[in-house]
Amino acid sequence: MPGLEICLVLLAAVLWLATVLVYFRTPIYEWLDNRNPYEPLSPLLRAAFRPYGRR
């Protein structure tokens, strides 16, 4: 594959991953937070997965 095609494939993969993360942000956060109830997520990760962004 030429370099341009590889760049386009990587760009498309990044865009799809970002879309999935934004759309499923709350369920992913809840799953991460409920894996081990005795060890909550770090404050930075908790802020990143907040439904309405950082505050």
Using 50, 70 and 90 to split pLDDT, how confident is the model at 7?
very high
Give the pLDDT confidence score for residue 19 in this predicted structure. 92
3-state secondary structure the chain: CCHHHHHHHHHHHHHHHHHHHHHCHHHHHHHHHHCCCCCCCCHHHHHHCCCCCCC
- For the chain, what are the domain ranges? 3-48
Give the pLDDT confidence score for residue 41 in this predicted structure. 62
11 versus 52: which is more confidently predicted? 11
46 versus 8: which is more confidently predicted? 8
